[in-house]
Structure 1
Amino acid sequence: MDFSKLYRPSALNSFQFIALTGVIMSGAAHLIIKYLVANPLPAGFPWLYVCWTALYIVGSLINLFGKPDQHHHH
């Protein structure tokens, strides 16, 4: 089992990449709302992190245990 598929950017699948991008963008939005905007965070905002984590876990499982397609030539 190649655990570098969990952290090496060139080995991430699309689910993992989307989840990491979502965490980074949500974190940036969190900091902007908290320190630069007078409004409080929306009520369900922390659930974004739960969703990104779940998507990353699903993508990691697919990446680690999925079988590559034999007919894919790209």
Structure 2
Amino acid sequence: MSFIFRALLMDFGKLYRPTLFNSWQFIAFTGLIMSGGAELLMRLLHYPRPAGYGWLYVCWAALFVVGTLVNIFGKPAPHGHHHH
């Protein structure tokens, strides 16, 4: 029941606002933008897309979904805990 309750109360901004993304979401978002830009350049320069290039988008999307699940259902780190 807690899972459903948390899903209903989630902040939907974590899906589309980069300021609320966690590291996984930000990496995936940047990867999608860079891959799209590279594809645009390949099309403009009439360079053939490498075989399997479309799977790159699938990987970025999967990473974004995993990052979103961690962002929504993960527990935040304590304030005094820092990694060095």
TM-score, structure 2 as length reference: 0.78
Q: Number of paired residues?
A: 72
CA RMSD, aligned part only?
Answer: 1.3
- Larger CA Rg, structure 1 vs 2: 2
> For residue 40 of structure 2, what is the aligned residue in structure 1?
31
Query: 1:60, 1:4 → 2: CA distance?
Result: 11
Percentage identity across paired residues of the two chains = 62
**Which consecutive unaligned segments of at least 5 residues does structure 2 have?**
1-9
Q: Separation in 2 of the partners of 1:6 and 1:67?
A: 17
Q: Which runs of 4 or more aligned residues in structure 1 lie more than 6 Å from their structure 2 counterparts after TM superposition?
A: none
Partner of 1:58: 66
- Structure 2 residue aligned with 1:15, among 20, 24, 33? 24
Give 1:32's aligned amino acid: L
Give the TM-score of the pair, scaled to structure 1.
0.88
One-letter amino acid matched to 1:41: R
